[in-house]
Amino acid sequence: MAQEHFQVNPTVPLTFVYNYHVGRSMETYLEGLAQKKILGVRCPSCKRVLLPPRSACGTCAARPGEWVEVKPEGTLVTFTVAHVAVEKSEIRDLEKPFILGLIRLDGADTLLTARVEGIGPDACRNGMRVRAVWKDAPAGDFHDLEHFEPAE
């Protein structure tokens, strides 16, 4: 008896429309990106530098105040390799997988999520040093910091 094969094309029936104000903390962060600077905020209570900036410290709940420029280099703490993408409610296989990492930049105490390029999934490792790669003409949005690449 011949075995039948079925192709399944899963869909994600979600549509998101965003229309919101990013808030003063994110606004300042984006202004920094437009100048190729990465800005975090220092918590006045526990002294942690939060990146991306937020309106309250996740450790002690204090309202951060002082803006701090952190280095564009840091350590890849952990990462995952994406083999699929969701586009227009459709899950599709990627021709080339990409790496999404959690990065602790020098001078920051929290982790920043970003793409890691310039290295294959097999060569990528936790603890490797990475550096920021900027868009040629920053415009003051999240895409100004294009990705990170190996610094070694």
pLDDT of residue 19: 64
**Could you give the percent of the chain with pLDDT greater than 70?**
86
Higher-pLDDT residue of 4 and 70 is 70
pLDDT of residue 16: 65
Whether 1 shows a pLDDT value over 60: the answer reads no
Mean pLDDT to the nearest integer, 114-138? 96
Per-chain mean pLDDT for the chain? 89
Mean pLDDT to the nearest integer, 123-143? 94
Residue 87 DSSP label: E
Burial of 133 (0-12, 13-18, 19+ CB in 10 A): middle
Mean pLDDT to the nearest integer, 95-108? 96
Global confidence as pTM = 0.82
Enumerate residues 6+ apart whose C-beta is below 8 A from 20: none
Spatial separation of the C-alpha atoms in residues 85 and 101, rounded to whole Å: 16
Residue 144 DSSP label: G
pLDDT of residue 25: 79
| Count of other CB atoms within 10 angstroms of residue 127 | 8
Enumerate residues 6+ apart whose C-beta is below 8 A from 27: none
Whether 54 shows a pLDDT value over 70: the answer reads yes
